[in-house]
Amino acid sequence: MDCRGFVLAGALAGGIMAACTPGFAQSKPALPDLPSLDDVEAVLPDLAGGLYLRGTIDAGVPTWGAARKSDASALPSGIIGGAAFDQPVGAEFGVGYGIGSWVRLEATVERRFGGEFSATQAWLDGGGPRAGRWSGDVASTLLMANAFVDLVTWNGLTPFVGVGIGAAWTDIHGVGYADALSTGSARGRGQWSLAWAAMAGVAYDVAPGVRLELSYRYLDLGDARSGFAVCDCGAAPLRLRDMAVGDIRLGLRWMLAGG
């Protein structure tokens, strides 16, 4: 080994011995302390602070709806008269988040059961008029996005207003036709349609973080249609149009945190 090797080895050994001495260890720059979990939680937003769950039951009173069957032999020009809709009921579940003390946003899923409809159809049979009656069941599944504004709270009562928009899957089934001379039917079928709603109600604080809601909602379900008909009155599908309902609603809102 030449002189340069001896010098390099000596410098390396000296560095190791210096690092092991107490004075050198004390002179090293200290690393910054990691933040504690308490500090991290203090700076993170309380995402659960405005989060809540809501369940609602509905009792509806139909406010509007029309029916049509576009066979050329129908009188007049495919118009069906006397459309009537029974009182449906429904159940809804939703997840919402309150922004401040005024605004709430929700996503909900709802199922509406037990709606019945009936309609009369006049049509030509060998040049002469003839009339029969259609009837069946209507059920809908809704996916909605809602926005609410909570007004001032007084003695535990908080009035609110809201709007919603989404999609309704409405299926028609059990469709039958009857007149004085024959019977018929139409296949069941479902379709998606745009749905929207306007709401107003009041919430009452029944316990910490628990609110009871009583409200009214106008709900537009859009359109639906059956499959093709099998009857003397023509094969065209039966169409239900512009279906709307006014709901009296009872719900329970449970705040997950914050209240």
Check: CB of residue 192 under 8 Å from CB of residue 169.
Answer: yes
In which band, very low, low, confident or very high, does the pLDDT at 13 lie, cut at 50, 70 and 90? very low
Fold classification of 50-255 is: Porin (2.40.160)
Q: What is the pLDDT of residue 10?
A: 46
Question: Tell me: the pLDDT tens digits for 118-165?
Answer: 999 998 888 788 999 999 999 999 999 999 999 988 999 999 999 999
In this model, does residue 44 exceed pLDDT 90? no
Q: What is the pLDDT of residue 47?
A: 45
Report how far residue 14's alpha carbon sits from residue 19's, in angstroms, rounded to the nearest whole number: 9
In this model, does residue 18 exceed pLDDT 80? no
SS (H, E, C) 113-172: EEEEEEEEEEEEECCEEEEEEEEEEEEEEEEEEEEEEECCCECCEEEEEEEEEEEEEEEE
Domain map of the chain by residue range? Answer: 50-255
Question: Tell me: the pLDDT tens digits for 158-203?
Answer: 999 999 999 999 999 999 999 999 999 999 999 999 999 999 999 9
Q: What is the pLDDT of residue 30?
A: 56
Q: What is the pLDDT of residue 75?
A: 83
Can you tell me the mean pLDDT for 6-33? 48
In this model, does residue 15 exceed pLDDT 60? no
Check: CB of residue 229 under 8 Å from CB of residue 237.
Answer: yes
Can you tell me the mean pLDDT for 46-64? 82
Tell me the pLDDT of the chain averaged across its residues: 84
